[in-house]
Structure 1
Amino acid sequence: MRKLSIPYFPERQRGQVIITLNVTNQIDQILAERGFISPEEVRSVTLTNVLVDTGATLLCLPSSVITQLGLAQRGEASVQTTAGLQQGRIFKNAELSIEGRQSTFDCLELTEVPYALLSVLPMQRLGLEPDLTNHKLRLLPMNSEQSYLTVL
Structure 2
Amino acid sequence: MGYIYVDAVLYNPIDYTEFVEDRRRFEDVRRATLKSLVDTGATFPALPEDVVEKLGLPIHGEAETETATGREKVRLALAIIQIEDRIAASYVIVRPRGTTPLIGVVALEQMGFRVDPVTGKLVKGLPLML
* Greater gyration radius: 1
Identity in percent: 30
Question: What does the per-residue CA deviation read over 1:10-65, in whole Å, with 9 as the maximum and x for residues that have no partner?
Answer: xxxx33211111111121122234454433221010012x1111111011111111
Match of 2:16 in 1: 29
Which amino acid is the alignment partner of residue 138 of structure 1?
Answer: V
Say which of 34, 51, 58 aligns to 1:65.
Answer: 51
SS at match of 2:110: helix
Q: What TM-score results when the alignment is normalised by the length of structure 1?
A: 0.77
Q: Distance in 2 between matches of 1:54 and 1:104?
A: 18
- The answer on whether the counterparts of 2:8 and 2:34 sit within 8 Å (CA) in structure 1 is yes
Whether contact under 8 Å (2:81, 2:89) holds in the other structure is: yes
Q: Which structure 2 residue ranges, 5 or more long, are not aligned? A: none
Structure 2 partner of 1:9: none
**Normalising by the residue count of structure 2, what TM-score does the alignment of the two structures yield?**
0.88
Structure 1 residue aligned with 2:39:
53
For the residue of structure 2 that corresponds to 1:90, the secondary structure is: strand
Work out the number of aligned pairs and report it: 130
The answer as to whether partners of 1:19 and 1:51 remain within 8 angstroms in 2 is: yes
Aligned to 1:41: 28
SS in 2 for 1:31: helix
Q: Which runs of 5+ in 1 are unaligned?
A: 1-13, 141-146
